[in-house]
Amino acid sequence: MTTKFLKTVLFAGCLLLATDLYAQKTTLAPVVIYLKNTALLPKKFNLISYAPSEAGNTAVSQYFMPGKEQAFTFEEGTKLYLASNEQVATVMSGQRIDKEKPFLVVKKSDAGKTFSLK
């Protein structure tokens, strides 16, 4: 084998290794949290999330019965908003609300915790 070929293979291997190490560093672990309706009546919640690795958002509108608890999985650092109808309309029009104060910024230490939806 020629020296030029060996240098090319070595360079490609180093590049792949560096890319893999970078991807491992920037991938944030998923965190499972629980959201619970602690009210005495059924209630509709609009949940909008902005994950660090995503360009856009995720929006979920759901009715929670009294005492209902549901698991959600988010990437560490995700901003969660309990959005009003006005905020939902803003997001649906293509604008963002992630400059506003979030309900929660998901941390690794939140894993397994239950958060009350009021």
As a dihedral over the C-alpha atoms of residue 112, residue 115, residue 117, residue 118, rounded to 10 degrees, the angle is 160
State the residue range of the domain holding 57. 30-117
Pairing verdict, β 69-75 and 104-105:
unpaired
Tokens 């929660």 label which residue? Answer: 104
pLDDT for residue 82 is more than 60: yes
Question: Which pLDDT score, from 0 to 100, does residue 28 have?
Answer: 75
Question: Which pLDDT score, from 0 to 100, does residue 25 have?
Answer: 47
Instruction: Look up the CATH number of the domain holding residue 102.
Output: 2.60.40
Asked if the structure places residue 8 within a domain, the reply is no
Comparing 8 with 115, the larger pLDDT belongs to 115
Starting at the earlier edge strand, list the strands of the sheet with 79-82.
58-64, 43-50, 79-82, 104-105
**pLDDT tens, position by position, 32-75:** 999 999 999 999 999 999 999 999 999 999 999 999 999 999 99
Asked if the structure places residue 100 within a domain, the reply is yes
